Structures are given as structure tokens and as C-alpha cells.
Amino acid sequence: MIDAPLIELPAFLDGDTVFQHLDRVLDPELDESIVALGFVIAVRGNDAGDITVDLRLPTYWCAANFSYLMASDVRLELLKLPGVRAVTVSLEDHFASDAILSGIAPGKSFGETFPEGGPDSLDQTRDLFLRKGYFARQEVLLRHLKSAGLAFEEIASLLIGDIRFDDIQSTEGDCSVVSADGQVRPVGEAKVARRYLDRRAELGLDCTEETHLIIDISGAAIPVNELETYYVRARTARLAMEANGSLCSALLEARNSARAPIGGPERQIQQ
């Protein structure tokens, strides 16, 4: 069970809006929101526009580069909010908390903060996990398409324009695809296709309606005789990420159970 985070924000900042921005910050290894994972334990702010975010990661030894990425992304996301002038990110009970804080606050790179190890930029690390997440999200969509009764031959011919969303402006609702024979096949929750297409766009891959729905990381359509093997490989990536996610959740739950909750049964908001 995830404890509700403590929220103490000034009147000009809406808590839901703040958490919408925090929800965009992903654990790079798990491809899941730090909010959904329960990493955010407190968000505090003042009338001057200074915000402090407290994160609790699953273990004391969570990798410095992953932790730095998340802390940096929190800062960048919240600085987009009108009226926010400074963001401080703290990592509770983390071996590199002080170093990360000293690097994040002035906007230093990972290499400047940890000159003894790692590249000067985390772009390669970020790109690696964006790609892993791409395969995992793609496999979930493929699984839904197969469950809808589409054969690999049909899936290989689908275009992005063949997707039909119940609500074109939202991730809510369901979606369907129009197969080559004109039949409309329901494929389940719209967010499955949305998440895949969002990651595809993040990676700079073609997302126009005339492009094949299932493409590899280079942007090439996958031949029908190779699609089943490709699917198995993508499934392996997804299962590995889910296994890591389950382990992290168990570790964080054990960590949280040893502490009194900071929030309470519901979010505490003071304005």
C-alpha cells in the first residue's frame, strides 16, 4: 500500500496540477511514474515560489545515475509551473543524497556532480531506457492486438491511421482497429496504444497515420515472417521490467513499513 504524500502548498499552486507534472517523471529502469510507484512522500511550497519535493526510493543503494535522472526531471518539470522560482529535491536515506542535491540545485550535469564515475551526460542512459520501455509498451499493444483475434499477418499490415479511439483527446476509454477486411476489432484500453505512441514520438519515430503501427527502433516496418520472433523478444523486455518493478515495490513497501507515514490516509493540503 502506498502512503499518501504530504502536501503543503501556497494558494497559487494547485496540488493536482503539481502532481500532474510529477506524474510525468518516470523511473528510467521501470518506465513507470514516480507518483504511481510511491516515491513521492512530500511536496512543500511557500508564497515566494520555492518548492521542496521529498523522494523515498526503494533502497539506500538505488543507483546514483537513475536517482539523479529522477531528481533532475522533478526539478525541470516543476520549474515549468507559473510562479515557481526554485525547486529543491531531497532523497530520504539515500547514499548519494547530499551529492545529488548539490548537483541538482544549480543545474549541474551528472558528470560534474560525480566526476569519478559515469559519462558527463546521462543522455545515453536515458536513451537506453527509453528504448527498453518502447519495446515493453509495444509488446503490451501487440498482446492486446493478438487477444482481439488479429493474426500476425494482419498486425503487420496495420497503420497508425487504423486505430480508432473512443475519445481522441484523452487516454480514457477504449480503442479499436480497422483490419484490412474493414472489420472493426476492439483492442481494449486506449491508454495502451497511447503510451506506445507517446514513447514512439519521444524517440523521434514517425507517428503519421500512413506509417505502419508496429515498427522497430530504427523506424522500419517489421516483415510478417519476423513479427512473431520480434514479439517474443519484446515480451522478454517487458517481463524483465515487470520483474524489476515487483522487486522495487516489495523493497519500498518494506522500507515504508519501518517508518511512520508522513502523509496519512489522504493527502494533507495546507494553503
Strand partners, 43: 7, 53
Question: In the prediction, which pLDDT does 174 show?
Answer: 94
Question: In the prediction, which pLDDT does 271 show?
Answer: 34
Distance (Å, rounded) from C-alpha 187 to C-alpha 143?
Answer: 9
Question: In the prediction, which pLDDT does 1 show?
Answer: 52
- CA quadruple 100, 106, 108, 113: dihedral positive or negative? negative
Question: In the prediction, which pLDDT does 176 show?
Answer: 95
CA dihedral 213, 133, 26, 101 (to 10 degrees): -140
Q: Which residues of the chain have pLDDT under 50?
A: 261-271
Distance (Å, rounded) from C-alpha 60 to C-alpha 255?
Answer: 10
What digits encode the pLDDT tens for the residues 14-27? 999 999 999 999 99
Distance (Å, rounded) from C-alpha 73 to C-alpha 88?
Answer: 12
Question: In the prediction, which pLDDT does 86 show?
Answer: 95
Backbone phi and psi for residue 200, each to the nearest 5 degrees, phi listed first? -60, -45
What digits encode the pLDDT tens for the residues 40-72? 999 999 999 999 999 999 999 898 988 999 999
Question: In the prediction, which pLDDT does 118 show?
Answer: 56
Distance (Å, rounded) from C-alpha 17 to C-alpha 22?
Answer: 9
